[in-house]
Amino acid sequence: MEVIFKSGLEGTVESSLLLEKKMDLTANNLANVATAGFKRDRISFREVLLTAYNGEVKQAKTESIYTDFGPGEVKRTGNPLDVALNGPGFFKIETPDGILYTRAGNFALNSDNVLVTAQGYPVMGQGGPITLDGTSIEMNEVGGISIDQAGDGVMAEVDSLAVVNFDDPSVLEKIGNSLYRLKDPQANEIPADGTQVRQGYLEQSNVNVMEEMVQMIQVQRNYESYQKIIQLFDEIDSRAINDVGKLT
């Protein structure tokens, strides 16, 4: 959380900068409306009274950026490697930077028949990366994965998706591509109890286009108002300088 002291022109400029940040977040949300598993970002700020080091009480504005982990719409794709989570939780992903987490279940098989994300990172099962060397892939509601290994129509369970949750999802931070990492490596994973795995479905972005567009218009109007105030301050300063010059 960032604290910004506000007074006169300086406060107007800072408020204008906050609106720029809000506009950037809104634009990024809209740009990812079609990104599977994307979670929209929000910015909130409130005014408080703080005591400065010299004892003077000043008005300040606190800013906080957070991710809304609310669910997105789940749509059927029919692709057996697309997986959605109906309920809280995240898939575990193995990357060169360690374990990451995602809600984006648009998976595929690589050349080694390892289940991977759209970026090529292995999806974790109960014993590590999931290898599916067979046909007719089926997943049940708790994440168990069965395949026809011999091609005789007999399905055998070979692994189970590692789906985990956290007491507070704010322990996660975005790093792009609908991936998250832990802010605190000591944060504990917990079972995603009650969460249903749905094969052949994808969770969509939780961005509400209409809501974001309305917010963008409001931010734009507020930003223009602050710009007019800044321009007014500039005009007042210019007049004051000119008047002082005349008196001199």
SS3 8: helix
Mark whether 9 and 31 lie in a shared domain.
yes
Can you give the pLDDT at residue 216? 84
- Clarify whether residues 15 and 129 are in a common domain: no
Same domain, 95 and 171: yes
Q: Are residues 11 and 108 in the same domain?
A: no
> Which tens digits make up the pLDDT trace of 10-50?
444 455 677 788 888 999 999 999 999 999 999 876 654 44
Q: Determine which of 29-33, 84-88, 199-203, 230-234 has the lowest per-residue pLDDT on average.
A: 230-234
Q: Are residues 89 and 188 in the same domain?
A: yes
Question: In the predicted model, what is the mean pLDDT of residues 64-89?
Answer: 95
Q: State whether 88 and 196 are in the same domain.
A: yes
180 and 79 in a common domain? yes
* pLDDT for residue 11: 47
Q: Tell whether 134 and 165 lie within a shared domain.
A: yes
Check residues 244 and 204 and name the one with the higher pLDDT: 204
CA–CA separation, 113 and 103 (whole Å):
21
Most confident of 43-47, 52-56, 101-105: 101-105
Are 52 and 79 members of one domain?
A: no
How many Cβ atoms are within 10 Å of 234's Cβ, its own excluded?
A: 11
Residue of higher predicted confidence among 64 and 167: 167
Number of domains in the chain: 2
pLDDT value at position 2? Answer: 41
pLDDT of residue 131: 96
Please check whether residues 101 and 168 belong to one and the same domain: yes
Give the structural domain span for 149: 74-203
Q: 233 or 173: which carries more pLDDT confidence?
A: 173
**Structure confidence by residue, pLDDT tens digits, 116-161:** 999 999 999 998 999 999 889 999 999 999 999 888 889 999 999 9
Structure tokens at 154: 């007999």
Same domain, 97 and 172: yes
Report the distance separating Cα 137 and Cα 140, nearest Å: 10
Q: What is the pTM of this model?
A: 0.79
Do 33 and 96 belong to one domain?
Answer: no
Quote the CA–CA distance of 190 and 180 in Å, as a whole number.
16
If one compares 239 and 175, the residue with the highest pLDDT of the two is 175
What pLDDT score does 240 carry?
A: 58
Residue ranges of alpha helices (H) inside the chain are 8-31, 209-247
